[in-house]
Structure 1
């Protein structure tokens, strides 16, 4: 079985996704219920809330459009945390060697890329160029720093986060965020999709 039911009950193909199965209202709903960090914040931080936090930090309209889509594949594939990815690779290297670990990484990236491709197509966007991708990555890091300040307990200094070692230092955004109910996150995301995604600006329905 390589499909999953969406929140409206319709099937979504996972191995061979299609732009015809992309429903941005459905994506907004799922993002607002999918928690980051495997739920290990003091209050839940959904991927949808993360998207809203980052949207507030985007420097241009072009970056906003690409930012809105950067995690959308997670509504089909789940939010696999960065530490989990690193742990999986560590075990793959330990058991089978780096070549097998590289192939597993290739499969994961290809699966994400297939879903990104159809989501971007449905949004009427081309994939980001190098500069836009770099800007989206910086927004992602600043959103993470903001979430750590506002939603997470500080751990031991001997276990710094990856953002602590970056130069220049990654700064959180000026706005302090609090938990938002999923329904409000969904509503805000749908409004952002309609504002920033070309296909929706041209009349494609969010749902």
Structure 2
């Protein structure tokens, strides 16, 4: 098991966000015990990519992770990919065009330093919650990934994004992305319902990270949540 991870607070005051049972957790205090994978699966299955027009984040994660395996990647690499967007359960999905727009707007309205500060702040929020998620799953924290693991996760994310856009919006969408080899997904990319996305995400997470690890941590997270309520 990973040693307990002490993650710095993101700001001095709590920022409360709801769990599905009405309890709350503090977005400003990323912690492994705030991560319940039942909540993660439910949350990611309800967030659709491309500003609501695409497949869910859960489906993207599952299809990409299975493609990693189909391309002779390891189960660990697939597990790292499966959880690479799990921070969006807590932070939501600020899509790439909006991130770019905000950065360009800040640079124009204020300065390039403001734009750089926004980009660094956003990446900082994601990385802190990534630490909490991967620690909760007893997987290597991103700072300890090998160069190959980083390359596999990043390349699959980009390739899946292009393939999703092409399958859902037509071949013209490919002009918005650099050329890349299509991922070896299991089946065509068609939108699943939230229920299937949630089930498939949990099933693959149990397979890749170990059912005991996920069940034990989720139980501990729920117990901690109830103790705080």
User: Normalising by structure 1, what TM-score?
Assistant: 0.87
The 2-side partners of 1:198 and 1:117 are apart by: 19
Q: 1:110 aligns with which of 113, 124, 127?
A: 124
- SS of the counterpart of 2:25? strand
**8 Å contact 1:123–1:200 — kept in the other structure?**
no
What SS does the corresponding residue of 2:41 show, helix, strand or coil? helix
> In angstroms, what is the RMSD of aligned CA positions?
2.1
2:98, 2:204 → 1: CA distance?
Answer: 30
Give 2:148's aligned residue: 131
Deviation at 1:71, TM superposition (A): 0.2
Deviation at 1:203, TM superposition (A): 5.5
Q: Secondary structure at the match of 2:151?
A: helix
Give the Å deviation of 1:205.
Answer: 4.9
Q: Report the counterpart of residue 55 of structure 1 in structure 2.
A: 65
- Other-structure match for 1:140: 157
Q: Which residue of 1 aligns with 2:11?
A: none
1:85 is matched with 99
Q: 1:154 to 1:201 in 2, by over 3 A?
A: same
Closer, same or farther: CA 200–109 of 1 in aligned 2, 3 Å: farther
Q: Which runs of 5+ in 1 are unaligned?
A: none
Closer, same or farther in 2 for the Cα pair 1:112/1:202, shift >3 Å? closer
Q: Deviations over 1:147-176 (max 9, x none)?
A: 12322234478xx21334xxxx33243531
> Against the structure 1 CA distance between its residues 95 and 39, is the aligned structure 2 distance closer, same or farther, given a 3 Å change threshold?
same
CA distance in 2 between partners of 1:199 and 1:111 (Å): 28
Q: Is the 8 A contact 2:79 2:209 kept in 1?
A: yes
Deviation string 1:17-59 (CA, Å, 9 cap, x unpaired) is 2111111111011111101010234xxx111111121022112
Deviation of 1:200 (Å):
4.2
Distance 1:27 1:203 in 2: 13
- Give the direction of change, closer, same or farther, for the CA distance of 1:156–1:63 in structure 2 (3 Å limit): closer
Normalising by structure 2, report the TM-score: 0.79
